[in-house]
Chain A
Amino acid sequence: MYDPTVARLTYRALLGRRRALILCALPVLLIAISALVRGLTGADDQIAADVLGGFALATMVPIIGVIAGTGAIGPEIDDGSVVYLLAKPIKRPTIIFTKLIVAIAVTMVFSAVPTLIAGLILNGNGQQIAVAYTIAALVASIAYAALFLLLGTITRHAVVFGLVYALVWEALFGSLVAGARTLSVQQWSLAVAHKVAGGDLITSDVGLPLATVLLAGVTVLATWYAGQKLRTLKLAGEE
Chain B
Amino acid sequence: MTTINIDHVSRWFGNVVAVNDITMTISPGVTGLLGPNGAGKSTLINMMGGFLAPSNGTVTLDGEPIWRNEQVYRHIGIVPEREAMYDFLTGREFVVANAELQGLGTHEAQKALATVEMEYAQDRKISTYSKGMRQRVKMASALVHEPSVLLLDEPFNGMDPRQRMQLMDLLRRMGAEGRTVLFSSHILEEVEQLASHIEVIVAGRHAAGGDFRKIRRLMTDRPHRYLIRSSDDRALAAVLIADPSTAGIEVDLKEGALRVQAVDFGRFTTLLPQVAKAHGIRLLTVSPSDESLESVFSYLVAA
A-side interface residues toward B, CB under 8 Å? Answer: 3-6, 8-9, 12-13, 16, 79-81, 83-92, 231-235, 237-239
Contact = CB atoms under 8 A, between A and B. Distances in A.
10 contacts: A8-B97, A80-B84, A87-B73, A87-B76, A88-B102, A91-B70, A232-B53, A238-B42, A239-B18, A239-B38
B182 interface: no
Contacts of A80: 80, 82, 84
A86 B68 CA distance: 10
A80 B49 CA distance: 14
Contacts, number: 80
B70 A92 contact: yes
A85 B101 contact: yes
Given A90-B70, A232-B68, A239 B40 contact: yes
Contact of B46 (A3, A79, A231, A235): A235
Contacts of B70: 88-92
**Residue among A80, A83, A86 with most chain B CB within 10 A:** A83
B88 interface: yes
A83 B78 contact: yes
B86 A84 contact: yes
Contacts of B135: none
Nearest to B40: A239
Interface string B57-79: 00000000000101101101110
Interface residues of B, number: 33
A217 B210 CA distance: 56
Given A12-B89, A13-B86, A79-B84, 19 more contacts: A3-B101, A4-B100, A5-B101, A8-B97, A13-B88, A83-B80, A84-B86, A86-B50, A88-B73, A88-B98, A89-B103, A90-B70, A92-B70, A232-B53, A235-B51, A238-B42, A239-B18, A239-B38, A239-B40
B275 interface: no
A89 B73 contact: yes
B101 A238 contact: no
B43 interface: yes
Interface string B105-117: 0000000000000
A235 B85 CA distance: 14
